[in-house]
Structure 1
Amino acid sequence: MRETPITRDMIANPKTKYGRAKASTRHFLTQRLTGASNIVFLGFLLFVVLRLAGQDRPDMVAVLGNALVGLPLAALLVIVAIHMRNGMRDTLEDYFHGELYRLLMLLNTLFCILIAATGVAALLKLVFWG
């Protein structure tokens, strides 16, 4: 089944429905909530970076291995990866369409999952196994 191409007249008419309203709303809310939580986590991240400035490796492992530091950093990594995926989605939607867009979104999603999973695994290893 072929989709009707979206024309300028369709976009200008407020009664016309195009796109998925629920998906767009979810994308909008996710982008705003992850952005806001990134701002909240920024203070914590700055504290950790300043605490680790000039420290040697055993001190860094001790700080990041603390559950009160490592687990929030793992949560931050997941939130940043979600925010990164959504930001790249906006860019991909603007410049690519059809099958190429789907392929690039798949690669974008896999890359973000890989980044988040690697970082979280490293932090969990430090927290639970030193």
Structure 2
Amino acid sequence: MREEVITTDIIADPRSRYGDSRASTRHFITQRLSGAINVAFLGLLLFLVVRLAGQDRPDMVGVIGNAWIGLPLAVLIGVAAIHMRNGMRDVLEDYVAGRMYRLLMLLNTLFCLIVAAAGIGAVLKLVFWG
């Protein structure tokens, strides 16, 4: 078997442009910022899991229905959905190309929107209407 020799003409010119730099920077910052917000909200999520372990539905509604708990939980669901979409986008960019990429990105976006809308809607219903 013959090994391919890598020469300087095979290596990409570092001055060349690869894609949209603004969109890539925005994606990078969004992914890091949403990850940091998720870490910051981890305490709230751990509090809820420990507090609601073994509780029945009225107790859960009482805790999540509190605006000081429910509203940050709704924000956490939204930020987690954004982070989920961006993470899945990275995977799709690495392993899928062409028309299939566009279809899967559309499905990824729709799935994340549905998850976020259902989760935020459920929490806000508990906060505002019990």
| Corresponding position of 1:70 | 70
SS in 1 for 2:41: helix
Identity of aligned residues (%): 70
Conserved 8 A contact 1:64-1:127: yes
How far apart are the structure 1 equivalents of 2:92 and 2:68?
A: 37
Q: Which amino acid is 1:47 matched to? A: F
What displacement does 1:79 show? 0.3
CA separation of 1:47 and 1:11: change in aligned 2, threshold 3 A:
farther
Structure 1 counterpart of 2:74, which letter? Answer: A
Aligned to 2:89: 89
**Counterpart AA for 2:28:** F
RMSD: 1.5
Please say if residues 74 and 120 of structure 1, whose CA atoms lie closer than 8 Å, have aligned partners that are also in contact: yes
- Once the 2 structures are TM-superposed, how far is the Cα of residue 101 of structure 1 from its aligned partner? 0.4
| Conservation of the 8 A alpha-carbon contact between 1:10 and 1:16 | no
* Runs of 4+ displaced beyond 3 Å: none
Cα distance change of structure 1 residues 121 and 11 upon mapping to structure 2, 3 Å threshold: farther
Q: Which runs of 5+ in 2 are unaligned?
A: 1-8
For residues 1-130 of structure 1, the aligned pairs below 5 Å read: 12-130=12-130
TM-score, normalization: structure 1? 0.90
Q: Scaled by the length of structure 2, what TM-score is found? A: 0.90
Alpha-carbon distance in 1 for matches of 2:128, 2:88: 33
CA distance in 1, matches of 2:95, 2:55: 44
CA distance in 2, matches of 1:14, 1:49: 49
Larger radius of gyration: 2
Q: How far apart in 2 are the matches of 1:49 and 1:10? A: 53
Question: What is the CA distance between 1:10 and its match in structure 2?
Answer: 8.1
Structure 1, unmatched stretches of 5+, are 1-8
